[in-house]
Amino acid sequence: MPLIAILLATVPQPASPPIQAVRVPPPVFNPVPVASETDQVPPVPVRVSLYFGRETLWTGTLSVGSAPARLSINEAANVQPDCDQPSFRANSRAIEVTLGRQNFRNRDSFTLSARYSRPAQDGLCPTGSRQVSVEQMLTLPSGTVTVEGDGGFRVVLQR
């Protein structure tokens, strides 16, 4: 046996330090607030009609509660048959409606956002697009409420 191995075997090893308890502060929880029953808004059907001048763009019923109702339609628009320009993005029309509901100061409030986009006709062919929109907070008692926008755009809500 080599001398170093003998010396190492006979040298006493230092004792391990005693285990010490370390105080750790308790975890901090930031709980996500849970909606109480009074915060829940039961869904109600709302009949929505969108008009541009005399043209009816869309009519239907949306169910609006704690979560807003959202409608999005994008479709091809009619182009004059004599138009010989290549088709591009402006050859479509789009309708977007978002209707939200909330109890605010014990009032049944609604938020409306509606938009209509259509091709711009400067002759036979579309050369761009035009948009009109409304955004409004309102109360919607039983009956009908009409929100007027620019250029003959209007939204009729009926509960």
What pLDDT score was predicted for residue 7?
57
Express each pLDDT in 6-49 by its tens digit. Answer: 656 665 666 677 777 777 777 776 665 555 544 677 899 999 99
| Spatial distance between the Cα atoms of 142 and 100, rounded to a whole number of angstroms | 17
Could you tell me the pTM of the whole model? 0.69
Express each pLDDT in 60-107 by its tens digit. Answer: 999 999 899 999 999 988 777 777 766 655 678 999 999 999 876 667
Residue 40 burial class via C-beta count within 10 angstroms: exposed 0-12, middle 13-18, buried 19 and up: exposed
What pLDDT score was predicted for residue 45?
95
Share of the chain above pLDDT 70, in %: 74
Q: Where are the domains of the chain?
A: 44-79+91-158
In which order are the strands placed within the sheet that holds 126-139? Answer: 69-76, 92-104, 107-121, 126-139
Give 149's contacts (C-beta < 8 A, 6+ positions apart).
114, 132, 133, 134, 155
